[in-house]
């Protein structure tokens, strides 16, 4: 195109790739605006007649607005202090139960009353799926679940809020123990909060998956949070003399399902408020304490 011809045309866009400029040219042609493509200085210029320039710019702006990708959703941020307080309550509960079970407070055999024995759970003693979360074999077992549980609890509470996060963790642990009981022999027993800890890993992995870009934009990177959860499960939950692999897998999968439910249903704005979070946290404590009351109501005290 010579300079005299180019003077009758004005530039309405400059692009780096042939695909981009051709896409914009198609937009203009579709509304009846004639255009030309001219290379200059390593770029591709889109030219239209001077009289058509205002309409061409409006059409191109509208096309960009209509096809702009949605913003990447970010997880809601809750108070770090709230998350820490909830984790401290978790630690206090586990310390209390460990001390009470060690000293057999109230003349009760806490281990016999609360351990997750598969045969008894299947027979109807469902509360053992929850009471077993508070029992630990020794200080090492207790310490590992204190550290891992507090860390995962704080991370999840910053996304869901302290109350809702710990309600999800308790539910994931209880349901996970119940599912594990269904596939284990009747004499199988298990104790420890690790089922709930891996439930927290599952919930958090799915929630982080939600806050990534669409699959076609980021490919396999979208699945990285879930992959990290699986790697944690493999690294922390598959080896050791007292490790209950079935419970860990069940807890993780249950957490993934609960996380998917949260993503599908959505988290209403009302659940972000302090009163709602308090209610969720109270529900988690009532559920756990109620399970222990049921356990003691059917278990004969020592004499």
Q: What is the pLDDT of residues 86-95, one digit of tens each?
A: 999 999 999 9
Cα–Cα distance for residue pair 205/210, rounded to 1 Å: 9
pLDDT tops 90 at residue 177: yes
What domains lie within the chain, and their CATH numbers? 3-66 (3.30.70.1070), 80-298 (1.20.1540.10)
CA 69 vs CA 66, 142, 202, 232: distances in Å: 9, 47, 28, 33
pLDDT tops 50 at residue 202: yes
Q: What is the pLDDT of residues 203-241, one digit of tens each?
A: 988 888 776 544 334 444 455 555 555 566 555 555 444
Among the listed residues 202, 209, 185, 182, the one whose alpha carbon sits nearest the alpha carbon of residue 248: 202
Cα–Cα distance for residue pair 130/300, rounded to 1 Å: 19
pLDDT at 293: 95
Cα–Cα distance for residue pair 168/235, rounded to 1 Å: 23
Lowest mean pLDDT among 52-56, 58-62, 76-80: 76-80
pLDDT at 16: 86
Lowest mean pLDDT among 33-47, 181-195, 248-262, 285-299: 33-47
Among the listed residues 240, 220, 296, 262, the one whose alpha carbon sits nearest the alpha carbon of residue 76: 262
pLDDT band of 265, cuts 50, 70, 90 = confident
Q: What is the pLDDT of residues 47-57, one digit of tens each?
A: 999 888 999 99
Assess contact for 172 and 229: CB atoms under 8 A.
no
Among the listed residues 188, 178, 187, 173, the one whose alpha carbon sits nearest the alpha carbon of residue 126: 178
pLDDT at 215: 39
Q: Which two tokens stand for residue 283?
A: 């529900």
Lowest mean pLDDT among 11-25, 30-44, 241-255, 259-273: 259-273
Q: Whole-prediction pTM value?
A: 0.70
pLDDT at 3: 47
Among the listed residues 154, 139, 149, 138, the one whose alpha carbon sits nearest the alpha carbon of residue 173: 149
Of the two residues 254 and 40, the one the predictor is more confident about is 254
Average pLDDT score over the chain: 83
pLDDT at 275: 85
Q: Which two tokens stand for residue 79?
A: 């108070």
Give the whole-number percent of the chain exceeding pLDDT 70: 80
Among the listed residues 9, 10, 73, the one whose alpha carbon sits nearest the alpha carbon of residue 208: 73
pLDDT at 158: 86
pLDDT at 229: 56
Lowest mean pLDDT among 92-101, 157-166, 281-290: 157-166
């Amino acid at each position: 195109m010579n300079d005299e011809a180019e003077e009758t045309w004005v530039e309405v866009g400059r692009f780096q790739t042939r695909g981009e400029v051709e896409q914009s040219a198609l937009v203009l042609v579709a509304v009846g605006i004639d255009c030309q493509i001219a290379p200059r200085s390593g770029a591709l210029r889109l030219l239209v007649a001077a009289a058509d320039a205002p309409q061409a710019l409006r059409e191109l702006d509208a096309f960009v607005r209509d096809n702009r990708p949605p913003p990447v959703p970010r997880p809601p941020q809750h108070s770090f202090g709230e998350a820490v307080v909830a984790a401290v309550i978790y630690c206090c509960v586990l310390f209390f139960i460990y001390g009470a079970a060690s000293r057999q407070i109230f003349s009760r055999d806490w281990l016999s009353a609360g351990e997750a024995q598969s045969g008894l759970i299947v027979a109807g003693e469902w509360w053992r799926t929850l009471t077993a979360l508070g029992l630990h074999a020794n200080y090492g077992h207790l310490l590992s679940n204190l550290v891992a549980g507090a860390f995962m609890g704080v991370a999840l509470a910053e996304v869901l809020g302290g109350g809702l996060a710990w309600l999800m963790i308790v539910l994931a642990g209880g349901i996970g123990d119940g599912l594990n009981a269904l596939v284990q022999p009747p004499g199988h027993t298990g104790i420890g909060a690790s089922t709930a800890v891996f439930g927290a890993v599952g919930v958090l992995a799915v929630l982080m998956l939600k806050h990534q870009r669409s699959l076609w934009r980021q490919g396999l990177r979208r699945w990285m949070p879930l992959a990290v959860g699986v790697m944690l499960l493999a690294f922390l939950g598959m080896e050791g003399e007292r490790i209950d692999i079935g419970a860990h897998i069940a807890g993780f999968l249950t957490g993934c399902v609960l996380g998917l439910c949260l993503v599908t249903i959505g988290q209403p704005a009302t659940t972000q408020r302090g009163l709602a979070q308090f209610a969720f946290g109270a529900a988690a404590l009532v559920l756990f304490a109620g399970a222990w009351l049921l356990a003691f109501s059917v278990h004969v005290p020592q004499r």
